[in-house]
Amino acid sequence: MKKIVALALTALAICSASYAAETYGAKKSDKKKQESLGFNEIIMVGSATVKVDDENFDFYAKTWGVTDFSKSDTYVVYGDAYEEYARLFWGSVKKSNNGKFGVYEPGQYFLSKQKVKKGLLSSAWPIKWRFYSDPNFEIYLPFRFEASVPKGEKFVYVGDFEYHLEGSDFHVTKVYVRDNYDQAQEALRREFGDDVQLCRVEIRAGEQK
């Protein structure tokens, strides 16, 4: 991208109170999903949306080669989800352990398996965004940050990212990170059962490489 902007990070408090599991417990299938995580693996939870401030958007889309405007936008987060995304578009499809194929629609919560090293979650790759799900109209959104993950936590909420774009190259001018914890927790429990607890973490800008 032609512009790289610093993420406008919303202060997210570190997870505090412990969670008392529901007496009936999780379903067997949900337990299997949880058990599939290694000792240094977590599920990173968040979402992404894009706001385009340009009245010529449709014109620009055509110049980028879009012919089918009926499809919704999609995006992918690198990591376990990205591997499944690649299989979906370029090879055989194999369902990932978290029940997702790595392709998400705007605002939909991603549940991406990531590795934690010495208690540190490091996101080094951008989000890949496709307008109208078209590979010709693909841009990268900044998603570089670090976060300390409390010991024992397996499900980590990094926030809801809102990107504002301008110009014919759709460069990022602003990024907001919002805390919609309750909605993220609900999305997580739909996949992993009612006995899981999502942990907020405070994200900070990662090093540029």
pLDDT in the model for residue 20: 29
With a cut of 50, say whether residue 126 has pLDDT above it.
yes
This prediction has a pTM of 0.75
Which tokens in the block code for residue 192? 């992993």
27/34 Cα distance (integer angstroms): 11
- Where residue 86 falls among pLDDT bands split at 50, 70, 90? low
User: By C-alpha distance, which of 31, 33, 32 is closest to 21?
Assistant: 31
- Where residue 78 falls among pLDDT bands split at 50, 70, 90? confident
Higher pLDDT, residue 100 or 201: 201
With a cut of 50, say whether residue 153 has pLDDT above it.
yes
User: By C-alpha distance, which of 19, 21, 95, 79 is closest to 46?
Assistant: 79
With a cut of 50, say whether residue 54 has pLDDT above it.
yes
- Where residue 112 falls among pLDDT bands split at 50, 70, 90? confident
pLDDT in the model for residue 10: 34
pLDDT single digits (tens) 7-51:
333 333 333 222 323 323 335 456 556 657 888 899 999 999 999
CA distances 50 to 13, 31, 60, 133, 165, Å, are: 25, 34, 16, 14, 7
Residues 105-109 have a mean pLDDT of: 93
When mean pLDDT is compared over 6-10, 60-64, 90-94, the highest value belongs to 60-64
* Percent over 90 (pLDDT), the chain: 48
pLDDT single digits (tens) 159-183:
999 999 998 889 999 999 999 999 9
178/9 Cα distance (integer angstroms): 8
Specify burial of residue 180 (Cβ count, 10 A radius: 0-12, 13-18, 19+).
middle
